[in-house]
Amino acid sequence: MLSDNIKRAAGEAAARTFMKNDNFSEENDPVSSALGEWKVTASLPPRFNEEVWRRIESAEQRTTVWDAISSWLGGIFAKPAMAVAYMSVLTLLGLALGFTQAEKKTTELQAQLSSRYVQSIDPYQRTHR
């Protein structure tokens, strides 16, 4: 009911402004009077203020960490030399890891193949014995 009054009053006020009615005064403004009449009767949940502040703080903290990381990265990669260095280091790391893993796997496969040969010729080492 109250919101209907406000809407109607706001519509009338807008119409009056549009029509450039200079006789309009604040004392007679139905929006102001309607807002003045408006009373909040619902009670707030317990620890409402505390909860609001906690949410604001956590939102600020999140923003701060993310902002810090992104600005730090932006600062680092702003220099082309740093971007190239980063790419080179990661590429070298990939190569080194690939090399060591491949060495390990090659040794494993070699052993597997040689033992397959031995098992094929030596009856004492056959699995079906």
| Residues that bind another protein in the complex, under the rule CB under 8 A | 70, 73-74, 76-77, 83, 86-87, 89-95, 97-99, 101-103, 105-106, 109-110, 112-114, 116-126
| DSSP-derived secondary structure for 4-57 | HHHHHHHHHHHHHHHTT-TT--GGG-HHHHHHHH----SPPPTTHHHHHHHHHH
Q: Closest distance between another protein and the C-beta of residue 68, in Å?
A: 12
Q: Closest distance between another protein and the C-beta of residue 65, in Å?
A: 14
The answer to whether 34 and 5 are in contact (CB under 8 A) is yes
Q: Which is nearer to another protein, 17 or 125 (CB)?
A: 125
Q: Which is nearer to another protein, 60 or 122 (CB)?
A: 122
Q: Which is nearer to another protein, 8 or 79 (CB)?
A: 79
Q: Closest distance between another protein and the C-beta of residue 102, in Å?
A: 4
Q: Which is nearer to another protein, 24 or 72 (CB)?
A: 72
- Side chain identity, residue 19: M
Q: Closest distance between another protein and the C-beta of residue 14, in Å?
A: 41
Per-residue CA distances from 108 to 96, 103, 125 (Å): 19, 9, 19
Report the distance separating Cα 72 and Cα 102, nearest Å.
36
